[in-house]
Structure 1
Amino acid sequence: MPLRRLARDLLLGLLTALFLIPFLIMLRNSLVDAHQITAPHRYWLPWPLTLENYRELFTNPSVPMGRSLLNSFLIATVTAPVSTLLASMAGYALARLRVPGRNLVTGFIVATLMIPGSVTFVPTFVVVGALGGVNTLWGLIVPGLFNAFAVLLFRNFYLRFPVELEEAGRLDGLGHLGVYRRIVLPASGTMIASLGALSFIDSWNAFLWPLVIGQDPSAWTAQIALSTFLTAQTVNLPGLFAGAIVTVLPLVVMFLVAQRHIVQGIAMSGIK
């Protein structure tokens, strides 16, 4: 038994090392100059170390990396809680409210998951553009506030929620909104944390929609600013690797903090 556990731990360690190699290479390349990145002889430990790439990253006048990171942070921190709360409310309504057409609405929500994003991309852009959302933060945020997949996850979660707790709340005079706000929502912490974390990661990594809506550099997100280091004419490898490290750090922190909630939330949703 100890031998089997040792073999399992060694295998997990090997797989973890293989997974971390690309990140170590990225970190190494962000701490050296362009000559060392493209040199024929590679060294795992960068020497001499330099932080010049990071300094140039935030002082480059043509790429507002600081403003782009702030935009990404604002978009993600607004989208994650609001979209999760809306999905929770919709999922609870579909699971508990006995109204005609409830199953039909659920079927329509499932059908939206089968529609490719490229089909709705142009109509969404036309609507947002007509409302003046180009080069604005609300134009970047609002289309991402509605997540059909999260609604279905919450619906499955609330279908398994103990009805006795809700009935106890109704005996105390609470209506549907009171039961949801005082009993159901506080008990949904794991689901909210897991889907909120996934929504944050998805918003932070979004590229195509911010690329189309954020046409002015003041409305760029971190991913758009990062893409400017890789063009058909030039490739700024030091800036690209330094920018990649800066933009991936918030996601690493988010995942390390919320990984337990993500696993538990998906398991509790009823979808394997």
Structure 2
Amino acid sequence: MATATKRSKTEKALVIFLLIAGGILVSIPFLWMISSSFKPENEVLAIPPTIIPDNPTIENYINLFTSMNFAVYLRNTIIVVLFSFLGLLFNAMAGYGFAKYHFKGRERIFYLVLATMMIPGQVTMIPVYLILNAMGLTNTMAGIILPGLAVAFSIFLFRQFMTTIPDDLLEAARLDGAGEFYIFFRLIIPIAKPIFAVQGILTFIAGWNSFLWPLIIANDESLYTLSVGLSLLQGQYANNFALQMAGAAFMVIPIIIIFSFFQKYIVEGFTMSGIK
């Protein structure tokens, strides 16, 4: 018994050591990026390297908004994120419809939505571009936003979660005279907070990191997002590594902050949606 207990403690200590060591190894590039973003340009490539800047400065972050159009890129990214959340609401409505309404062809339409998840996004970019071009929406903010409003995976998750809501609860609300929109906004959304949380995080990350589609659909630099602006930064200031590190840190830090606050909802949301 004592031997088994000792072995269990040894295994636990080994696992903890491996997790800590792995966490440190994974964190090194991120910590180096943050540190370099506060270094003068001549200190980034100094030998021996410095982990903590000898002469810390925020000049690199200031240059992002003075030498580059990062204020414009930030505005465009925030617009994309906000409309992505509007699309999240539409996806929730679609998932609720597939879960709780019975209409002809419901299953076939839902399977068709699932089938679109098997098609790589790169395959549909050309047809979508041609459609938007025919509508005169290329090189516009609407052309950047519209294709991302409906997401099959989001509809699937909402549908999986909302099938667990008892039908008797909805029928009782209807008997009390509640309308369908009232039921959705005042009853369904509060119950579905876990899945809204996980989808909200994923939606924010996708909108914040939007790169390929804005690069394709927009020719005007005033419509570029932060990710596109960061790629321009790497091209125009290829030798200024401190400025590049500041741009990368500016992109990554908001995602890390939001994820650190809401990471528990990701596991809870996936679990309650039937995803293993």
Same fold by TM-score greater than 0.5: yes
Give 1:139 deviation, angstroms.
Answer: 1.8
**C-alpha distance in 1, partners of 2:185/2:34?**
45
Partner SS, residue 225 of structure 1: helix
**AA partner of residue 67 (structure 1):** V
Give CA-to-partner distance per residue, 1:102-150, whole Å, 9 cap, x none.
1100110111011121221011112223333233222211111000001
**C-alpha distance in 1, partners of 2:260/2:196?**
16
**C-alpha distance in 2, partners of 1:191/1:161?**
13
Call closer, same or farther: CA 1:94–1:238 in 2, change over 3 Å: same
Q: For the Cα contact (< 8 Å) 1:86–1:146, is it kept in 2? A: yes
**Residue in structure 1 matched with residue 205 of structure 2 by the alignment:** 201
Indicate the larger mover: 124-133 or 209-218.
124-133
Give 1:20 deviation, angstroms.
Answer: 1.6
Give 1:7 deviation, angstroms.
Answer: 4.7
Q: Mind listing any 5+ residue stretches in structure 1 that lack a counterpart?
A: none
**C-alpha distance in 1, partners of 2:183/2:74?**
39
1:35 matched to 2:45? The reply is: no
Q: Mind listing any 5+ residue stretches in structure 2 that lack a counterpart?
A: none
**Residue in structure 1 matched with residue 52 of structure 2 by the alignment:** 45
Q: For the Cα contact (< 8 Å) 1:229–1:237, is it kept in 2? A: no
Indicate the larger mover: 28-37 or 93-102.
28-37
Indicate the larger mover: 208-217 or 1-10.
1-10
**Residue in structure 1 matched with residue 248 of structure 2 by the alignment:** 244
Partner SS, residue 229 of structure 1: helix
Q: For the Cα contact (< 8 Å) 1:229–1:236, is it kept in 2? A: no
**C-alpha distance in 1, partners of 2:168/2:117?**
33
**C-alpha distance in 1, partners of 2:141/2:273?**
32
Q: For the Cα contact (< 8 Å) 2:161–2:274, is it kept in 1? A: yes
1:224 matched to 2:228? The reply is: yes
**C-alpha distance in 1, partners of 2:270/2:96?**
17
**Residue in structure 2 matched with residue 72 of structure 1 by the alignment:** 77
Partner SS, residue 228 of structure 1: helix
Identity of paired residues, percent?
36
**C-alpha distance in 2, partners of 1:161/1:233?**
54
**C-alpha distance in 1, partners of 2:198/2:118?**
23
**Residue in structure 1 matched with residue 216 of structure 2 by the alignment:** 212
1:152 matched to 2:156? The reply is: yes
Indicate the larger mover: 2-11 or 37-46.
2-11
Give the length in aligned residue pairs: 269
Aligned positions of 1:55-204 closer than 5 A: 55-60=62-67, 63-79=68-84, 81-204=85-208
**C-alpha distance in 1, partners of 2:71/2:158?**
36
**Residue in structure 2 matched with residue 21 of structure 1 by the alignment:** 28
